[in-house]
Amino acid sequence: MALTKLDQLYRAVILDHSKHPRKQGVLDKATAQIELKNPTCGDVIQVQLAIEDNMIKDVRFDGSGCTISMSSASMMTEAILGKSIDEALMLADEFSGVVQGKEAVHQKELGDAMMLSGVSKFPARIKCATLSWKALEKALETDGTGVDGQLKHD
């Protein structure tokens, strides 16, 4: 049956993140937050960060979307927790390469997020995978001094 091919995309880890998302919810004290929408599909994600001395001390996400976008957000929170802003931005950049079929140098740091490399075979779903990472980038663009806004996904 052709659905077996779906396993490339929806590995057990991915389904697990989507069913049991890590770091879902809201922070008491966020220093940066953002809401990003993908207008073509209606996915919405909020990402909140607590940044101290350039380090991501805590992170939460919330929102609604497909398995890929929600599991990717969950994986993203695990990958960036405890990282510096620069490291997090670097991972975001690498991740966007991974889902387009490029090799990643920091596979270990990306952790479970590497499981989404299969998305590269499903071009229509790449934006689902990168939504939370784009939100992270937008939130960090302001040096974590606190943004609250709504942005269109390009």
Partner 1 sequence: MTVPYEELKKDFKILDQHVNDEPLVYLDNAATTQKPDAVLKAVEAYYNTSNANVHRGVHTLAERATTQFEGAREKVRRFINAPETAEVLFTRGTTTSLNWLAQSLGDLVVKPGDEIVISFMEHHSNIIPWQQLAKRKGAILKYIELTDEGMLDWNDLENKITDKTKIVSLTHVSNVLGVVNPIRKIADYVHGKGGLLVVDGAQAVPHMPVDVQELDADFYAFSGHKMMAPTGIGVLYGKRQWLDQMEPVEYGGEMIDFVELLDSTWKELPWKFEAGTPNIAGAIGLGAAIDYLENVGMSEIMDHEQNLVAYLMPKLEEIEGLTIFGPHKTEDRTGVIAFNIDGVHPHDVATAMDMEGVAVRAGHHCAQPLMNYLNQPATARASFYLYNTLADADKFVEALKATKEFFLHGLD
Q: Which residues of this chain interact with partner 1, rule CB under 8 A?
A: 1-7, 9-10, 12, 15, 40-44, 64-68, 122, 124-125, 128
The string of DSSP codes covering the chain is -GGGGHHHHS-HHHHHHHHS-TTBS--SS-SEEEEEEETTTTEEEEEEEEEETTEEEEEEEEEE--HHHHHHHHHHHHHHTT-BHHHHHHHHHHHHHHTTT---S-HHHHGGGGGGGGGGG-GGGHHHHHHHHHHHHHHHTTTTS----EEE--
In the bound state with partner 1, the residue whose beta carbon lies nearer, of 125 and 134, is 125
Q: Residue 66 CB, nearest distance to partner 1 (Å)?
A: 4
By three-state DSSP, how is residue 148 classified?
coil
Nearer to partner 1, 51 or 153 (CB): 153
Closer residue to partner 1 (CB): 68 or 80: 68
Q: Least separation, in Å, of the C-beta of 143 and partner 1?
A: 32
Q: 43 or 58, CB closer to partner 1?
A: 43
Structure tokens at 89: 């931005």
* Residue 2 or 28 having the CB closest to partner 1: 2
